[in-house]
Amino acid sequence: MNDVNSGGGDTGLESNNTGTTTTITGRQLIHEDVDDDYYVPYSLRTDPLWADVTPLPQDDGEFTIARISYAPEFVEVYDYMRAVLKSEEVSERALDLTEKAARLNPANYTVWFYRRKLIRELQADLKKELLLLDDLIEMHPKNYQVWFHRQKIIDMRQNAKGELKFVQSMLDEDPKNYHAWQYRQWLIKTFSLWEGELHYVQKLLEEDVRNNSAWNQRYFVITHTTDYTEGVRAKEVMYTLASIDMDIYNESAWNYLRGITQTLDNVYSYKLGEPYNSAMLERMRALLQHEGAPDKQLSPYLCMYAFTCFEDYLRNKDENLSSDEKEAIIKKELEPILIKLETKDDIVRKNYWKFIRLKLNKEFVLA
C-alpha cells in the first residue's frame, strides 16, 4: 500500500503500510487497494479554520464483530461532526460541515436536525437551502430525511411558491414515489393548494389507471374538499366502475370503490346510473358471470368486493329471503366461483377462499 499522505501534505492520517488497514485518529479502518487517489488531498485537519477543534472518533466498543469500512473522507467529516455536536457549536463553519455530512449520508437524522437548528439561529438563506435540497432530492428521491427537511424549510419560509411544480417534476420520474406524495399532501393541506389537484390526478390516471398513488390522492383531495356527498359519490362510483371495465384486475380501482362505498348501509342495493342502470349487486353478478366462464381467469379483487355485496344481501332481513333461496345463491352462484379460485385462479389465497366458502355455508346453509 502507498502511504496515504504521499503527495497530500500532512493530513493527520497514519499508514501502517500493511496493505490492509489504515490507522485514522487512533482507529483501524479496513479497506482494500488504497492508492494515492483514494483520498482527496484536502483535509479538515490541515484547514486553519478547524485548527481549534479536536475530532471525536466513533466509539465502536472494544470488541467489534463486523467493522464497517468507512471511506477516509467519511470518517474525518463525522469525527468533526461529533465534536461540533458535543460542543453545540453554532457557526457558519458548523453549517458548512453539516452539508458535507449530509451529502455523505443523507439519511442521517441527527445531521439534518442539527442543521435546522443552525439555520434558525444563524438566519441562513432559505432559498439557498432549497437549492441544496433540489440537488440532494434529485440524487436521493426515495430518502425520507431530505423530503422531511424540505418540509421544515418551507414551513420556516411560509411560502410554497413553485413547490408543487418541483414535486411534479419528481413524480414525472417516478409517479409512485411515496415520499414525494406525502410531501405534496402536506403542501396542499398546509397552504390550501387544492385548485387543479383533481385535474392533475385525473391526468395521471389517464396515463396509468393502475397508479395506486393517484387513486389515493383522488380520495385525499375529495375527502378534504367536497367530501363524498351523495352526488359526488354517485359520480365517483360510475367513474371507478368505468375504470374497472377497462381493467378488471386493477386492485387500486377496486380498493377505491370499496373505500367510497364502505359507509353505505346496503351497498348491494346502491343504484347505478348509465350505462348500467342496475343495483350494485346486479352489476357484480354480471361481472362474475362474465369472468367466471371456463376460459376466463377470475379477478380476486372483483370477487372480494362482490362477495361483500352478497353477504350484505343475504344478511338483510328486509329482503325476506327464505333458507332455500339463500342456499341456492350459495350453491349455484358463489360456491362454484370460490372453488375455482381455490383450485385454479387464485391458489396463493386458497385458504382465504376456503374460509369464505365454509363461512357462507355455516352461516346461511347449515344454520
- Tell me the pLDDT band of 36, cut-offs 50, 70 and 90: very low
Mean pLDDT score, 227-235: 96
pLDDT at residue 257 is higher than 90: yes
Selected residue with higher pLDDT from 60 and 207: 207
Selected residue with higher pLDDT from 2 and 333: 333
Query: What pLDDT sits at residue 261?
Result: 97
> How far apart, in whole angstroms, are the C-alpha atoms of residue 299 and residue 305?
10
Candidates 18, 106, 21, 126; CA nearest to 64 is 21
How much is the pTM? 0.83
Query: What pLDDT sits at residue 290?
Result: 84
Query: What pLDDT sits at residue 45?
Result: 85
**pLDDT tens across 91-133, in order?**
999 999 999 999 999 999 999 999 999 999 999 999 999 999 9
Domain boundaries, the chain: 1-87, 262-367
**CB-based contacts of 222: which residues, under 8 Å, 6+ apart?**
198, 228, 232, 236
8 A C-beta contact, residue 269 and residue 280: yes
Query: What pLDDT sits at residue 124?
Result: 98
**pLDDT tens across 285-317, in order?**
999 988 766 778 999 999 999 999 999 999 999
> How far apart, in whole angstroms, are the C-alpha atoms of residue 213 and residue 174?
11
Query: What pLDDT sits at residue 227?
Result: 96
pLDDT at residue 10 is higher than 90: no
Selected residue with higher pLDDT from 35 and 285: 285
> How far apart, in whole angstroms, are the C-alpha atoms of residue 79 and residue 58?
7
Query: What pLDDT sits at residue 16?
Result: 36
Query: What pLDDT sits at residue 42?
Result: 63
Share of the chain above pLDDT 70, in %: 88
- Annotated catalytic residues are 142
Query: What pLDDT sits at residue 41?
Result: 47
8 A C-beta contact, residue 43 and residue 76: yes
